[in-house]
Amino acid sequence: MDDVTIRADEFDAVIFDLDGVITKTAAVHETAWAEMFDRYLRERAEETGPSFEPFTSVDYGEYVDGKPRYDGVQSFLRSRGIELDWGDPSDPPERETVCGLGNRKNDEFTRIITERGVEPYESSVRFIAELHDRGVRTALFSSSRNANAVLGAAGLGDLFAVRVEGQLTAELGLPGKPDPAVLIEAARRIGARPDRTAVVEDAISGVEAGRRGEFALVIGLDRLDQADALAASGADVVVPDLADVMVTGSHLRDAATLPSARSDELWSALGDLRPAVFLDYDGTLTPIVEHPDLAVLSDESRATLEQLAATTTVAVLSGRDADDVIGKVGVPGLYYAGSHGFDIRTPSGDAAGGDLDRFDTFLPELEAAEAELRDALADVPGANIERKRFAIAVHYRQVPEEHHAAVADAVGRTASAYSSLRLAGGKMIFELRPDVQWDKGTALRWMLTEMHLDVPEVLPVYVGDDVTDEDAFRELEHCGLGIVVGREERTTRARYALDDTEEARLFLDELRSRVAGRGA
């Protein structure tokens, strides 16, 4: 067995196949294929005369595993000298076409997982959690159109925010493995370059796709005693289980042990520089509450913001809709950015415009996706859909735990149906946003440039509490100060911490006092 280590400072992302990597469904797929093909081959032998030769594990690994369903049907049949019309994906299972047989197999697979359920590989789930803790992004790719159903059945509906599965790849017209298109699309959607991304695959065709896509590392999982074949197909390392892969290194810090933002250490870092202050809203300026409408800024906090804005640049960068956060903060003359930076307003209240106008092209699909989600979640108790101009937020804080998987499955299906949107998450929230490399970090960088604050004498400061704020902390790792609000068990890219929203207000008031005093 080869030793392998994922270093968090060398990889931005790891992307995973599903069946045989995350869930123990490769064997289920093989069983479904065998039952479908054996029944068909036996019927064909009775009609045409050649002796019946059953479908084998070797056939599964060589002709079917890792490929789109219909491609797998055609590949195996050709290995037996059988040519059938391709047919149409709408063909009924009894029709003798490539698509008809593929649909037969799908019915068989659905029957098996419905009767038996789906078991995850716990070592894979732990490995993904370790990657997340160390700041490495993850995404799922799969040739299966059942991927979302399988994740839901395994209780892993919220494990991956980005999924490129069979239904989506068909809509996008992406070729199947060993072509690397699906893997490249998964990396693109998570905002990672292939040369900074690792691939985890158990299928020979998927390993070959990873190598052809020039990914930085291709890990072959040997679930079927085919280590030599995986290595020959391009795996850099082959392991029997992800428990054998170490994750080391991190840009992340333990929030509980970070120095206070109100300490002398931060004030020394500020020195004589002019701060430019960027603030999240929920969980930073106001406590987290059960319903977004209840997050009301106190008069005391509003006064603090007004006084701070009189001494230095202040901007609010929120996941809320821009009009919503402007109304809730109620302090004129600030820069505001809503929908995680997709909707930026100048101090005059006008849209920033310019190259940001391109986001308007996503509005029709957002409207359609919103309608679909409202229908899908109409009967889920506590589900709250919040439409923003450039995002759709699905809050499930008030949803009973037994319905969380249903929410994740509905959001995942909708995300797969709209190729121009991508799925993201936060504290008890799923969001659909335009599928572009734009987040609080890139929006912060854009604002610094547009506001002429990317100069040596200015020190950008970002204060936030959510996982979505980590993008902004990342942007300021080498040119500013990130401050996380809350010391619950978590890792963060922030350099300083504040206990809660009240301490955040006291920090802003002290910052105002120091800047004003320096000016005097």
Active site amino acids:
280
Distances (CA, A) of 460 to 82, 309, 473, 503: 66, 14, 10, 19
> How many CA atoms within 13 Å lie on the side-chain side of 53?
10
The whole-angstrom distance between residue 59's C-alpha and the CA centroid of its chain comes to 34
In three state form, how does the secondary structure of 38-94 look?
HHHHHHHHHHHCCCCCCCCHHHHHHHHCCCCHHHHHHHHHHHCCCCCCCCCCCCCCC
Handedness of CA 337, 338, 341, 342 (dihedral sign): negative
DSSP annotation of 518 reads H
Residue type, 318: S
Let me know: does 160 contact 182? Beta carbons within 8 Å: no
Q: Can you say whether residue 55 is alpha, beta or left, with left for phi > 0 and alpha for psi between -120 and 50 degrees?
A: beta
Which DSSP string do the residues of 414-483 spell out, in sequence order? HHHH-TTEEEEEETTEEEEEESSS-SHHHHHHHHHHHTT--STTEEEEEEE-SGGGHHHHHHTTTTSEEE
Kindly state the tokens that stand for 387. 């439409």
In whole angstroms, what is the distance from residue 141 CA to residue 205 CA?
A: 13
Nearest Cα neighbor of 87 from 104, 75, 70 is 70
Do the bridges between strand 245-248 and strand 137-141 make them parallel or antiparallel, or are there none, so unpaired? unpaired
In whole angstroms, what is the distance from residue 253 CA to residue 135 CA?
A: 10
448 exposed, middle or buried (CB, 10 Å; 0-12, 13-18, 19+)? buried
In whole angstroms, what is the distance from residue 277 CA to residue 306 CA?
A: 13
